[in-house]
Structure 1
Amino acid sequence: MIVEECLRIPEVLRLIYDELDKRTSLSLALTCKPFLEPGLDRIWRNITSFKPLIACIPEDIWKLDVISVPKRWGFNIFMVCGKFNFQQRSLTKHFQSPRRDLTSEDLRRYLRYYAPRIRQFAPCLHTRMRMLSIEALQALQIATEYQAGALAPRLQEFHWYRPQQCILALGEPFARVLAPFVSMFLGKSLVSLTVDVDASDPPVYISSVRLAMKQLPLLRSLNLGLAGFSEGWTQPSLWNMGGLERIKVGNLPIGVIPHLASLPNLTSLEVNGIQVQSPAPPIAPNPTGFASLTKLEGCSDSPSDIKHILQHLAPHNDLNAVEWSHSLSTSVSDYQETIDAIAQYCSPSLRQLDLFSIDAVDEERLDFDAEEPIDISPLFQFAHLRELDINIAESVPVTPEFLAQVPDAWPHINRLVLCPTVPSSQTPLIDHSHILELARKTPSLRTLGLRFDSTRITGQETVAVADSPQLRKLIVGESPICSPSRVSTFLKSGFPYLKALDNCYKSILERRNISTKRWAAVHEALRS
């Protein structure tokens, strides 16, 4: 009896349906009346084609148009009179067209019972998909009186495909003019939008995207890819979305950054490429810039590109996590400019800083100037730092004096990795005693990545149990090593909680020199 009563609670049924696929949900929904409504909510929550809409409209409306459209890529090759002939391939497309005029009464069943249940619409594009014709889409617009979001009034997530992505599935003539009809699915309830726009796209598509961005007051998450634009996206009206909390943008024009900084609720910003102008536009002071931003993540050609965003931060900001990578080789001065910009603009509350390079450089510079090291001491001002990960092609010089300041500067540090992304020819200025002392004085430290001179290890070092560090992972880079047996003995006694040993190099070439072989032997000894 208790079970039966529980199964009459809609919330319980929804939890059950969340674990089922659509086919099973349909079977369960048809078993009894209390199961029907929650089952329909589950079945219609995520729609991946136009078939459900077509099926809900009276059959006498439709006629099937079979159209042959040229395939953009590929040719059929055949022989005629001993010569090769090339014939462009064609694709057969199936479009549903109206046989008669479409009225609001024809849509009543769909709009009343099913459309309000849709939360996510992401059509699966394929060459055999059945699609509504342009004439059918026009008829739907008229029947819904051009109301935005009429076909999915409570839609929350939408993935908008570029015309280029639709050509193979729908044919180029149709794909180029589809965009204006998308508004029938974009209502004011939308909270997440994913869309890519290229300067080469049809003007009607670009205009449709811009118009949609102005009409989504509840939007919380925007994934926007831009390509080929130097301007045209800097109008303030495009960014009048005060509810935006998360933005992921590709090829960000530098002129858009001030508008992003003015969004009061933006907490997460991810940038994949920055289009830098030369000269850069002047920066107007913004005492409330990025007022709610807590996480900044991105990738650009140069690490110092991050400065174009950081300089818009308010003096008292809440940014606590920065992850930035760069794809091109750069100089020590560029890295130093990046470190200085972070120290200048970020709040003392910063807790996570990850800087790394993703280029294909496999070895350090041929002409190395030891007199121009990267100075990361400006980062000592971030007393709340929990994670510092700097993996770049240039070595960050780590001295005994530097390590001696770490426990006081970063008392809560949990992860500290300062290994270069490529093996270094420089002799480390610290040895095993320094890393042991650092780990002892920073009780929160669990992951440590430093190059150190292990050739001085004798294997006779003793560590009091009460002083044993809590370190779980040690990243050694290509640290000098002579005796794997002595090093493994030291690590077992000095770091009894150590679970993992790594050299952190993920280069395009597999290195198997004597140093990596010795560290591999240490790794095996620790596992035994």
Structure 2
Amino acid sequence: MHRCLAVPEIFSEILKDILPSDEPRLNGTLTSDACHLSLEGRPVVESSEELYQTLLALACTCKRFLEPSLDALWRTVDSFWPIFVALGISERDLEEMITRHRNPYYPRRNPYHPHLSDLSEAQFKELALRLIIDADYNKAQYYLSRIRIFKLHAIPSALLWAVGELSRKWGSPLLPNVRELHLTPPLTKDYLIFCGRRLVHVSAPLSADSPSLTTHSYPNFDSIYIPADNTKDTNDVVSSFIKNLPPMRVIDAVGCNSMPGTLEVIAAMSSLRSLSIGKFPDLSSSPAFLSPGRLLPCLQELLIGDIDLDLCTQLLYALEDPSALRQLHVGYLSTTGATLQKFMTTVATRCSPICLTRFTVSSNGPRRSADAELPYSSKIQPIAVQPAALQPLLPFVNLEYLNINVFTFNYDDGFVESIALACPNIVTLCLNEHPEYIKSRNLTLRCLYPLAKYCPRLESLNMGGFTFATGPGKIGVDGLSRTWTHDERYDVVPGLSLHFLNSSQVGVIDRCLVDIAAYLMDIFPKIRYVDYHPLYFHIRDVREPGWNDWK
């Protein structure tokens, strides 16, 4: 018989289930179902409205719940509004002040108060400072000290200046315990007034005015994400910034091309665990750089947007411990079948089949999302890839994400079955080629059967087209019937997103739509999405009658 829990233990169990985890991911973000404050300053929840309502009810119920509930409600803030409300400005006054300011990002007139005159920049600064300069430090920090993740999309410069003045008056940062700073505007020293010495991760575009982040000011800072800027070339700015970084754990600059000098600085970071860069530089003038067994002893994730596969093969030999790699994502613009085969063999030789869980080799660059569609470069020379080239990957039994994207990939049902048997933990599988080359495909719907049978965790499947004329019957699956019960090891059965449509197959799918739907529904317990909408809607109609009834 289970023992009875005391009241504090009951509270602890409830909060343990609903509060977010503090365990950081490798990429510097936090695994969290935390709620956050919306642009209007109202608390909302990232995962579900029910979680927010539960936290709010707990906060209002009992003092024992109040503090941990407030911690969760204020953990993630994605606007400047809640900060100013905590400083004592009402939402109405803040909205009125912004509306009156001459700023193209905000309406010039408040339709509810047309009599209000516009504020100049100087007047805006003066008014903002006057409203917050006497803010009660202890009262404000009761809320602001709970913020761990701060996401700022935009803020009027006058408000940014005002909080800077307040921070200088207090002699402390506005958000002393913030760990992550996510900015949409370029990083400047003005935004660092929000951050204290607990800062760990920064995500922001860079400009020539971006300051260096030192361990003296931010001793825990070890993770940076630099998004790509498609409007201008920022490679020099990014390279200069990286050269001044302290030893890092995570560097994510996949949208920026790396310079040889920058790469030398990165290579000296012995604690680096995750590296994502754009184009890998030509190192023909520095052959000693890729000396075997000397680079990045702690590296666990490597993503390179564009690299010559011969050079990538050398890089795998240059890594001190490639067997520690958990993720390897490689993009290339041109290669040969022999070079690709050599690279795959090197991956199998140097990487651990136990540790490696996510792998990409793609002719249009590695992608963070399996559903992302990127154009193929017209400069890529098509090569024919045989399944034998990927045979070295079959011992990697713990693969959860496999993305092979090449121009022509002559694989068939048997190869897909070998993947299913070899990788029972697969969650995302992408086996793609250029749309022009999938017309003569030996792949049929039968290949889905072993995936459904042996891969119960499968959530995303992208295979770029089937041949429906092969095999007996209308759709080529006669003789196949499910011989297993759907896996019940998971509390929530994973939903499958299936991408296989080719425009030349629409007519065949329409003629056999009912049979195809019946086959898919039989072997997969839950289908979340199919990229041919008539087929997807039919499946939804069968499984969820009335789902599209608007009455």
**TM-score, structure 1 as length reference:** 0.60
Q: Pick one of 182, 188, 197 that aligns with 2:197.
A: 188
Tell me whether 1:340 sits opposite 2:358 in the alignment.
no
Give matches, 1:2-401, under 5 Å.
Answer: 5-6=7-8, 22=43, 29=59, 33-55=63-85, 68-69=101-102, 71=104, 95=125, 96-99=127-130, 108-110=137-139, 113-123=142-152, 125=154, 132=159, 134=161, 136-145=162-171, 150-163=173-186, 179-197=188-206, 201=207, 203-204=208-209, 206=210, 208=211, 210-211=212-213, 215-219=217-221, 221-227=223-229, 228-234=233-239, 238-242=244-248, 244-245=249-250, 247=252, 249-255=254-260, 256-271=262-277, 273-274=278-279, 276=281, 282=287, 283-285=289-291, 287-297=293-303, 299-300=305-306, 310=316, 312-314=318-320, 316-324=322-330, 333=336, 336-344=338-346, 346-349=350-353, 350=356, 352-356=358-362, 357=364, 358-360=373-375, 374=386, 376-377=388-389, 379-380=391-392, 383-387=395-399, 389-396=403-410
Corresponding residue SS for 2:145: helix
Look up the equivalent residue of 1:219 and give its one-letter code: F
2:198 and 2:324 map into 1 onto residues whose CA distance is 29
**C-alpha spacing 1:520/1:392, structure 2 compared with 1 (3 Å):** farther
Larger-Rg structure: 1
Aligned pairs, how many? 436
Could you tell me which runs of 5 or more consecutive residues in structure 1 were left unpaired when the two chains were aligned: 76-89, 164-177, 450-471
SS across alignment from 1:353: strand
Q: Secondary structure at the match of 1:140?
A: helix
The Cα of 1:17 is off from its aligned counterpart by: 7.4
Return the alpha-carbon distance in structure 1 between the equivalents of residues 163 and 321 of structure 2: 51
Q: CA deviation at 1:394?
A: 0.9
Identity of aligned residues (%): 16
In structure 2, do the counterparts of structure 1 residues 479 and 315 end up closer, same or farther at CA, with 3 Å as the change threshold? farther
User: Against the structure 1 CA distance between its residues 518 and 109, is the aligned structure 2 distance closer, same or farther, given a 3 Å change threshold?
Assistant: same
Query: C-alpha separation between the residues in 2 aligned to 1:46 and 1:38?
Result: 14
Offset at residue 481 of structure 1 (A): 2.0
Distance 1:374 1:304, change over 3 A: farther
Q: Alpha carbons of 1:64 and 1:520: their partners in 2 closer, same or farther (altered >3 Å)? A: closer
Is contact 1:424–1:478 with CA below 8 Å preserved after alignment? no
1:57-113 CA-partner distances (Å, limit 9, x unpaired): 578xx99698653638999xxxxxxxxxxxxxx99885544349958xx55324653
Match of 1:79 in 2: none
Amino acid at match of 1:41: D
Tell me if the contact between 1:291 and 1:314 (Cα under 8 Å) persists in the aligned partners: yes
* Match in the other structure for 2:111: none
Distance change >3 Å, CA 512–CA 240, structure 1 → 2: same
Instruction: State the alpha-carbon separation in 1 of the partners of residues 84 and 295 from structure 2.
Output: 47
- Structure 1 distance, partners of 2:320, 2:72, is 44
Q: Any conservation in 2 of the 1:221–1:246 contact (CA below 8 Å)? A: yes
1:127-154 deviation digits (Å, cap 9, x = unpaired)? xx796262x3452243144x5xx21111
What secondary structure sits across from 2:477 in the alignment?
A: helix
- Looking at structure 2, the residues matched to 229 and 491 of structure 1 have their Cα atoms a distance apart, in angstroms, of 55
SS of the aligned residue for 1:6 comes to: helix
Q: Secondary structure at the match of 2:359?
A: strand
Q: CA deviation at 1:341?
A: 2.8
Shift in alpha-carbon separation, 1:186–1:143, aligned structure 2, 3 A: same
CA distance in 2, matches of 1:398, 1:31: 60
Alignment of 1:402-441 (within 5 A): 412-414=422-424, 420-422=433-435, 423-424=437-438, 426=440, 428=442
* Structure 2 CA distance for aligned equivalents of residues 250 and 158 of structure 1: 19
Inter-partner Cα distance in structure 2 for 1:374 and 1:361: 20
Aligned equivalent of 2:114: none
Stretches of structure 2 lacking an aligned partner (at least 5 in a row): 21-33, 36-41, 45-52, 109-117, 365-372, 487-494, 523-551
Find the aligned partners of 1:520 and 1:377 in 2 and give their Cα distance: 35
Please say if residues 153 and 185 of structure 2, whose CA atoms lie closer than 8 Å, have aligned partners that are also in contact: no
Report the TM-score when normalising by structure 2: 0.58
Cα offset, 1:184, TM superposition: 1.8
Question: Kindly tell me: are residues 419 and 122 of structure 1, through their superposed partners in 2, closer, same or farther at Cα, counting changes over 3 Å?
Answer: closer
Give the deviation of 1:347 after TM superposition. Answer: 1.5
